[in-house]
Structure formats: structure tokens, C-alpha cells
Chains A and B, each alone.
Chain A
Amino acid sequence: MKKVGVAVLLLCAVALAQWGYDASKPPEVFTPLVVFPVPVLRSAGLGLDSALASLIWLNAIQQIGEVYGSYEGLIGDIRTINALDPQFAYPYAFAELVIPSLDPSKLSDAIAIGQRGVEHTADWRIPFYLASTYVVHLDDRENALKYFGIAARTPGIPSRIQATALNYGTQKDKRAQTKAIWESLYESSDDELLREQAYTNLVHIGILEMLEEGIRRYKASKGKNPKEVQDLVRAGLIREVPQDPLGFVYTIADDGTLVPSLPQSHDE
């Protein structure tokens, strides 16, 4: 019993000594982890590149804003992660989402990371965020259209986000410009996928224009808005409701606005 008492006393004394030591230490200055160049990591990593990438990712996200000061360190870490494990999708998406807003001077770095992500992974978030960066920060509608299109075709994209991506630039005030961009892409690109995407979007815009023209003429002749797109067929203004190549179905709001939406089955 006496021995146990001495042991407990010593344990308390040890804890007290540690507390005293901690209190006497100057406050610790955080320093970022030094990440070695990729070839060094690869040769020392026994092929465990993916695990190394995960560890660098965990380290990077714990230090954002606290240690880096600028986002140069974060960009460097993400580049290292991308090089070690090119298919690890979230770091690309994270860089695309966070860096342009927090440090606009690093916009070109963020775009380069996003473009690499689109090349190496099939994660809709990367092209979607990249397109958003082009819209918000650069007002580059041509690239925004391109990457929204890629995002919309990527498996796993939620239907609401897919609709947003597909509908980008189809609002009336921007439609002519969007149409011109798709036409120029269709005529100038050698990329079959991009040409197909341009063609599909041009057909989609054509349908929007046709239905809106039908609604306008319906109102002019009947003095009221049609309730549904079938009313345009019944009034003989269009032969049939065209099938949208992007999968949209159309309804008409009370004020006569055409509302395109994707059916729920378009999820995944």
C-alpha cells in the first residue's frame, strides 16, 4: 500500500514537472512541414505514393491560413499531392474552390491545378469549380462553357448542378453571345467530343428559341400565356414538342417564362 502511495505521488510529481516545463517554454512558432521534391519522395517511399499524398493532404489542410501566411505553400503541397497521386480528386477541387477567392494573385496556379485535375480524374467538382472560376474571376465565358459542359457530362453529378451547368449562358440576355461561342467552337475545334458538345448545346438553344417564339406568338394571338408547351402544338404554332438532346423537359410559368428542368431520373 505504501509503495502504491509512493508511485502515485511520483506520478503526480512527474505531471507537475511537465506542467512547469510547458509553462516555462516560449510560445511555439508553427512552421510548415518541409515536403521534399517528388522524385525524392518517390524513391524513398517504397511505392507508397498514395499514402504519402494522403499524409501531405492531411498536413496541408491543418495548416491553411495558420502557417502558410500566403497560399504559396498550399499550392506547392497540392502540386506535390497531384504528382504523387494524380487520381486523388479532392485536392484539385479544393484548390479550385478555395485559392481563387482567398488569393486572387494565384489565379493562374489554381487554373493550372484544375486543368490537370480534369485531365486525370473523373470528378465533376473539378470542371464545375474551374468553370465557376472562369466566370467569377475572369469573365471568360468560352472556357466557362467548355468546363461546365465537361462537368455536366461527368458521371455522378447531381441533377440540379447538372441543370445549372447545362443552362449556363442560355438566359435571354446572354444567349446570342453563348450561341456565337458554341458556333465558333464547333467550327474551329478538332476535338470530336467538344464538337459534339457544341452541337448538342446549339440544338438546345435552338429549341429554347423556338419555344419562346411560340409562347410570344401564342400570347399575341390569344391574349394570354399558354399553360404548357403542348398548348403550342394544339394552337398549331409548332408541329410537336421537340426532344431536348440535353434531356431537359419544359414547363411554362404563369408569367409566360419558359422553364427548362431535368427530370429526377437524371441523377447519376
Chain B
Amino acid sequence: MPASLHTILVVAKNTFRETIRNKVLYAILAFAAVYMLFTLFLGSISLGEDLHVIRSLGLAGMYIFGLIITIFLGSSLLYKELERRTLYFVLSKPISRAHLVLGKFLGLLSSVAVCLAGMTVLYLLMVAFKGGGFDSSAILAVFYQLLEMSLLIALTIFFSTFSMPLLSTLYAVLVVYIGHSLDLLMQAVQGASAPVRFFVQLLHYVLPNLAKFDIRSAIIYDASVPLSQALLVVAYAAMYVGLLLCVAVFLFEKREI
């Protein structure tokens, strides 16, 4: 294994340990579990639409709690190192800033993936308990969600190279909202003037368009997702993550510590 990859994996392992030991994370996960179990009750008062309600609200809950975990852990990741001054110690070792950023990304992605896996198991058990069998298609929806989360982790790391955790959180939330509204925005400006349409089109292509990671509705109605589209979505996420991490490394290397 190349030395740089080994270094990245060591940082990732430590980041994973650090984030997974965070007590607030367990509080969020406990809330997520209570919410997921509550959907069983909501299903029971839905006039026979139990499975529909459990599936739609369950997948939505996994998304919302996954989002909270990602933004909560991601926005303070680098800042904490600076605040505790542990960064000086880390960078005095043969670890470059690029290794640190990439390691942090992989470590946090692993933590988020583990949390999502836990919620998915609970969701699958609930669906099976209500007679829906093994909801294998939900795993695809969770995979898409993980792609979105990886993009958001890269985004929060990018923001945290130049801003405080609170501002990073705010920026990340704004990007999530804008990212899910870009398609609607495009529809809204169809009758607008050419410069406005051009500006919105520019945003549409440049900002992270997150609507493509949402296949929950298709999954609820057992619709299939074309392979070509799935590959494009994976490629989009990988390229955007690569872009954000490159810029984050560049900014972090320029930063005076």
C-alpha cells in the first residue's frame, strides 16, 4: 500500500473513532429510532395504508436524520482540530494537509454510512413486521442518499476550511435547500427574460443539484431506476466530491495556522 494512502487511512480511522464516540451522535440516533418506531403508530391510523405511510415517512426520516448527523459532524470537523490545537501536533508528523482533508472525509463518510446502516436495518425490520417483506429496493434509495451525504460531507469540509462551525452549518443548510430547489427554479423562470433564465441555468449546472439523489418516491412505488441514470448519478457525486475536496485542500494549504 502506498505510504500516502496508508496515512489517509490512519487519519480516516481516527476520525471515524472520534465521530462515532460523540455522545450527541447517539442522542440524534436515539431520536431517529423513536421517530422510526413512531411511524408504526402513524401507519396504524392511516386507513389501511400502513405500508405506504411507514415506507414514505421511514425513508424521509432516514434522510432528515442522516442530514442532521452529516452537517452536525462535518461542520466542526476541522475547526475542532484548530480549536484544540491538535492540528499543530498532527501536522508536525509526516502528514500533509491534503492527507488530513481526505482522511477526514473518508472517516466521516464511514461514520455516516454506519449510522445510515443502523437506521436502514430498523426500517427494514419495521417494513417486514408490517407484512411488506424484505424491502430490498430501499437499500438502493439509501445508497443514493449516501451519495448525497458524501457530497455534503465534502461541502462542509470545504466550508470549514475558511469559516466557523455555525457559519459552515448555515451554508450547508442553504446549499441543501438550493440544491433541492434548482429544478423548481428552472420551471419557475421559464417565462422570464433571457438574462434571468441564463443566470438560473448557470446555477442549475454549477451548484450541486441534489434532486437527482432522491429516488424515494420511485422506490415507494417499486419503479425501476435505469442503470445508465444510476451510473450518471454516481459519476456526478464522485466528480463533485473530487472538486470540493480539491478546492478544500487548496484553501487549507493556503491557510495560516
Which chain A residues have a beta carbon within 8 Å of chain B's beta carbons?
Answer: 39, 42-51, 53-55, 57-58, 61-62, 85, 87-88, 90, 94
Contact = CB atoms under 8 A, between A and B. Distances in A.
B176 A90 contact: no
Contact of A87 (B63, B64, B184, B221): B221
B47 interface: yes
A48 B63 contact: yes
Given A46-B176, A47-B211, 14 more contacts: A39-B184, A46-B67, A47-B180, A47-B210, A50-B56, A53-B56, A54-B49, A57-B53, A58-B42, A61-B45, A61-B47, A62-B45, A87-B220, A90-B49
Contacts of B216: 47-48, 50-51
A85 B184 contact: no
B52 interface: yes
Interface size range on B against A: 20 to 34
Contacts of A51: 56-57, 59-61, 216
The 6 closest A-B pairs by CB, nearest first: A51-B60, A47-B214, A50-B56, A48-B60, A54-B56, A51-B56
Interface majority SS (helix, strand, loop, mixed), chain B: helix
Contacts of A57: 46, 49, 53
Contacts, number: 67
16 contacts: A39-B184, A43-B181, A46-B63, A46-B180, A47-B210, A47-B211, A48-B60, A48-B216, A50-B217, A50-B220, A53-B56, A54-B42, A54-B46, A58-B46, A62-B45, A90-B47
Interface string B68-82: 000000000000000
A42 B59 contact: no
Contact of B57 (A39, A49, A55, A90): A55
B177 A46 contact: yes
Contacts of B184: 39, 42-43
Contacts of A43: 181, 184
Interface in B18-64: 42, 45-49, 52-53, 56-57, 59-61, 63-64
A50 B60 contact: yes
Contacts of A54: 42, 46, 49, 52-53, 56-57
Contacts of A46: 63-64, 67, 176-177, 180
A267 to B, nearest CB: 19
B176 A85 contact: no
Contacts of A58: 42, 45-46, 53
Contacts of B67: 46
- By CB atoms of chain B within 10 A, which of A45, A47, A54 has the most? A47
Nearest to B53: A54
A48 B67 CA distance: 13
Nearest to B54: A54
A223 B59 CA distance: 70
Nearest to B46: A58
A226 to B, nearest CB: 45
A90 B60 contact: no
A186 to B, nearest CB: 34
Contacts of B60: 48, 50-51
A118 B57 CA distance: 25
- By CB atoms of chain B within 10 A, which of A39, A50, A53, A85 has the most? A50
Contacts of A48: 60, 63-64, 214, 216
A45 B220 CA distance: 17
A87 B217 CA distance: 9
Nearest to A91: B49
A53 B59 CA distance: 13
A193 to B, nearest CB: 22
B45 A85 contact: no
A88 B176 contact: no
A44 B177 CA distance: 7
B173 to A, nearest CB: 10
Contacts of B180: 45-47
Nearest to A57: B46
B89 to A, nearest CB: 39
Contacts of B47: 61, 90, 94
A27 B187 CA distance: 46
B59 A61 contact: no
Contacts of A88: 52
A48 B64 CA distance: 9
B156 to A, nearest CB: 17
B148 to A, nearest CB: 10
Interface in B164-222: 176-177, 180-181, 184, 188, 210-211, 214, 216-217, 220-221
